[in-house]
Chain A
């Protein structure tokens, strides 16, 4: 059993930058690298790709991320844990083996599955959001349980260099190697809570090194164009020290750490994961030197009796059109354009949102009373049952070129198919996880 391990986080969402992970593995002296790439909706979209082609369904950037990382991971004996398996970890593992062969590298990959619970649901389960049956939202396309550490631990005990999962709770990706290396008991909820705190602090990668934090007036952060991603030294007693690679941009401070600790936490006294109901309120954050933050405290005393399940459904088509106005009476001409489109579409599309970007697109109008923009951009968007109707929104906005107010420019139109996500709960004993190993 080790006394200390180092875990880095090289991606905090599916579209994150590529090179911070490369720098972490090359210079960070890591035991483990985690890449967190799977948002709620990402897995439903991946499920659709898998239905169209059974060899797909893993993260679309898997190839790009793994190709560069593979030789570095193997050279430095850093194990990778990532949820880039998305809807199809087995296909993802096969792709990694293929990439390794191309580079003449030997690698073992464990694909973890069991999160796909689509076939277990009848559709009559109630959603947590609105307390109505999930089938009433629309055609269901995916259902994935948030698995915990018990899904990852067997794969860690294998020889796998890379552990590729589907839906797993983000902090569990970090907590699992702590349990494995320190021999913690999974019902030692105090330790589960402490490890979950550290995992939560790291899981959004750049969000603890100054990303989503910086404000040049009151919270300046240096060199964000080369923002470093974080690593944590975890000690056997559950405390940790968070830092980043020397020479990278960004900053890790008490302030960045506090913001990330509370990020997306509904109740800081009861943070639910499959592993623990963690208490974040007792966490102590201390700067021990520049860009080195020590984390103590945090805990927990039980775990939830059910798994949370994300259910994807077909929500229709979202159509959008935009056009801009500048100079004298820009706001008034934007408002006129909005009124024209509203009158043209009001009988066809009930739920239309009309914004003036630069005035009220981000916040309700009460915050923009005194603003006097030089230019505004009209944005009209609506949800429709059919692709054709959704396209009409952009077409109507574009038609303002020759039928609308003076000086309308830069019209754009687009349509996207929307997969909505709601949640429900599933008894733990109905979910069985497993893994399959692949090697070159």
Chain B
């Protein structure tokens, strides 16, 4: 088992109440491993206390990267959220805690 942080990096973005997390392997040789291991279901389960909606995974073989689009994930969204990190900018590092 290893944490995603050891083999990949991620950036968090937001659109309203939707959280968007990229996942990019440091070494593109690890792309296939991530395709196999990091499913939308796994990410949803990992972030279940944060993401109340669905997780959609986009696989980008040309870029050797992934996008995870998570609905109902930011306590209402940046403008009215009560969260300290209302944008969810730190949540990339929550994804990278996932062990595979």
Chain A contact residues, CB within 8 Å of chain B: 40-41, 128-129, 212-213, 215, 218-219, 255, 258-269, 281-285, 297, 315, 318, 351-353, 355, 357, 361-367, 379, 381-383, 418-423
Contacts and interface: CB of A to CB of B under 8 A. Distances in A.
Contacts of B34: none
Nearest to B89: A212
27 contacts: A40-B79, A41-B79, A212-B89, A258-B22, A261-B63, A262-B20, A262-B63, A263-B22, A265-B67, A266-B15, A267-B58, A267-B67, A267-B69, A268-B58, A268-B60, A269-B58, A281-B58, A315-B79, A351-B82, A361-B85, A362-B85, A363-B90, A363-B94, A365-B49, A381-B82, A420-B79, A421-B77
Nearest to B84: A361
B78 interface: yes
A145 B72 CA distance: 24
A321 B52 CA distance: 27
A336 B85 CA distance: 23
A219 B83 CA distance: 27
Contacts, number: 113
A259 B24 contact: yes
Nearest to B97: A367
Contacts of A268: 58, 60, 63, 67
Contacts of B89: 212
Given A262-B67, A264-B15, A353 B9 contact: no
B92 to A, nearest CB: 9
B50 interface: yes
A353 B82 contact: yes
Nearest to B23: A262
A421 B79 CA distance: 6
Given A381-B82, A382-B82, A418-B80, A218 B26 contact: yes
A265 B79 contact: no
Contact of B69 (A266, A283, A315, A355): A266
Nearest to A363: B94
B5 interface: yes
Given A129-B16, A264-B13, A420 B80 contact: yes
Contact of B11 (A128, A212, A283, A351): A212
A265 B20 contact: yes
B15 A282 contact: no
Given A282-B62, A315-B80, 14 more contacts: A255-B26, A263-B13, A264-B20, A268-B58, A281-B58, A297-B62, A355-B84, A362-B84, A365-B49, A366-B49, A418-B79, A420-B79, A421-B77, A422-B16
A360 to B, nearest CB: 10
Contacts of B60: 262, 268, 281
A364 B62 contact: no
Interface in B36-68: 49-50, 58, 60, 62-63, 65, 67
A224 B12 CA distance: 20
Interface string B4-34: 0100011101111110101010100000000
B80 to A, nearest CB: 5
A199 B15 CA distance: 18
Contact of B50 (A284, A285, A363): A363
B94 A367 contact: yes
B22 to A, nearest CB: 4
B76 to A, nearest CB: 8
The 10 closest A-B pairs by CB, nearest first: A364-B49, A264-B13, A353-B82, A262-B22, A259-B11, A361-B84, A420-B79, A420-B80, A263-B13, A421-B79
A344 B60 CA distance: 51
A77 B39 CA distance: 51
B18 A266 contact: yes
B24 A258 contact: yes
A268 B20 CA distance: 11
Contacts of A355: 84
A218 B9 contact: yes
Contacts of A353: 75, 82-83
Nearest to B21: A262
Contacts of B82: 318, 351-353, 381-383
B17 A129 contact: yes
Contacts of A262: 11, 13, 20, 22, 24, 60, 63, 65, 67
B20 A266 contact: yes
A367 B82 CA distance: 19
